Structure 1
Amino acid sequence: MPWTNQHLKWLEDTGDIITTACGKQAPIYTFNPDMADEAALSAWAKHFRNHYCDDNEIDDLRDGTGLSRKEYLLKTKLPVQKVTAPHEKTGPATRSGDFTEILVSDFLEFNLNYWVPRTRYEFKVNPNLSENGSDVIGFKFSDDGKPKNDELMIYEVKGSLTGNKPSNRLQIAVNDSNKDRFRIAESLNAIKQRLKLKGLQQDVPKVQRFQNIGDRPYKEKYGAASVLTNTMYSDAELNKTDTTGHVNNSALSLLVIKGDALMDLVHFLYQRAADEA
């Protein structure tokens, strides 16, 4: 399997907590990769690349294009680093957004033990556009065997990986999370269809279980995350976050991840993912 959690050893809980204006708490994590750890970096690049293109399928997909694996990924699968044409204008922002979503997906799966299907990016027509629907969805099945205790977690993720004027992206994540209740059905349907297209029929019933909460009740939980480069991080701004307007406030969790020069890290990771294909 291409998936790994080796890179999450660089995600550390600082022990610090932001207390919002409404009294809700958000743990603060730092993400600082060891750029000398070649084995972990290579495993991470493979993990990241396979979100966009399965290593087992890349040769079939590039057949007829005349492109090498690296060229195929950079030209048709991965959002661009620099804009050279009108259809690429959102590429760098999409790189940032995809990276933050995948990082939070990894946190949700490997740290909080949710199952997070990796289907969101592989079927893009334009790699430079973000996908519609909920950012990150995780599934958890109860240990006690009672379906009513199964959990569906829906996370909204907002990043700010460049700049030096802090803004409260966590508040924006909270506000947009409030819309997720209207997107759950379409997001679940998209996940199920993509699993079928990938031949992962064994995973389809796991998603179907959550498609009718009226007849098959479960716990519905929400999350709002902000991923920030250190120059954009501000306790004072984050403290202003107010979640009282969220319709599922009691089931809403918060998360903040920060690190040094994160956009440089994003570009490095995309390039390594292509180089090692």
Structure 2
Amino acid sequence: MTFRTRFAPSPTGPLHLGHAYSGLFAFDLAQRAGGAFLLRIDDIDASRSRPEWEAQIYDDLTWLGLTWPKPVRRQSEHLPAYRAALSYLWARGLLYPCSCSRRDIAAAASAPQEDSPPIGPDGIVYPGTCRPSHPPEGTLPETVLRLDMRRALGTLQAQALRPLLGFKEDGAGPEGQTGQIRLDPEALVETIGDVVLARGGMGGSYHLSVVVDDAVQRITHVIRGRDLFGATAIHVVLQRLLELPTPIYHHHRLIRDETGKRLAKRDDARAIAKYRADGLTPRQIREMVGL
């Protein structure tokens, strides 16, 4: 198996030291394995993506010494692929439309008779307000679509397709999880719930698009931060439902500020471009992030 990994930033702001660490770490692993390092642009959210930020991504990564095959896969150019995956899941009765706003979800989950609402990879676990008792019929609608997690897991169990859900972790999760990670179906229902797979005006959510992209690009190793460890269970379920391979995962440590807070796009003071302007070298950036 040829080692193939990817770095998939979103062009919604400047790359910071956390991005530098993740990209360099993945690139280094690919180089050592004699494999391939791919760059992918996660621009499925057209409302927030900007061409100037995409150009800055190429410029910053090239300055750091990273190289990748051309052309780069841009998610905005492959919306039909995500729509096809949604249509497949819809035809199997695993999706349903949802009209709830974030405020609706928070209110329902925080009702007086409820305990503190569980928090999953996407925030408050959806309380099932719009979940129908039977799969909806008709054509795939252009609206928010959620995965009926319990029905989806029941489908997998009924088909007896690799009944043990799980994935191999080569790095470590937030609680030190490593090796073969087994997923408990009932826990997925309770702690993750019916995640959004499509939003209005977008070809698919992050969860759907990343699974489709990784399969299309034949990614064997997904290398990313530990903040995405919880989302891996969603991706494994989608891979099984769409009959796609499950890569090996490596969740690495996060780069944090002086207070211990994870860096985000809004941390312009730690943007790679600022360090470049201040005269630092790529080697000094490597040293700053512990590489």
Shorter-chain-normalised TM-score: which range? under 0.3
Q: Which of these two proteins has the greater Rg computed from alpha carbons?
A: 2
Q: Could you state the TM-score of these two structures normalised by the residue count of structure 2?
A: 0.24
Q: Could you state the TM-score of these two structures normalised by the residue count of structure 1?
A: 0.24
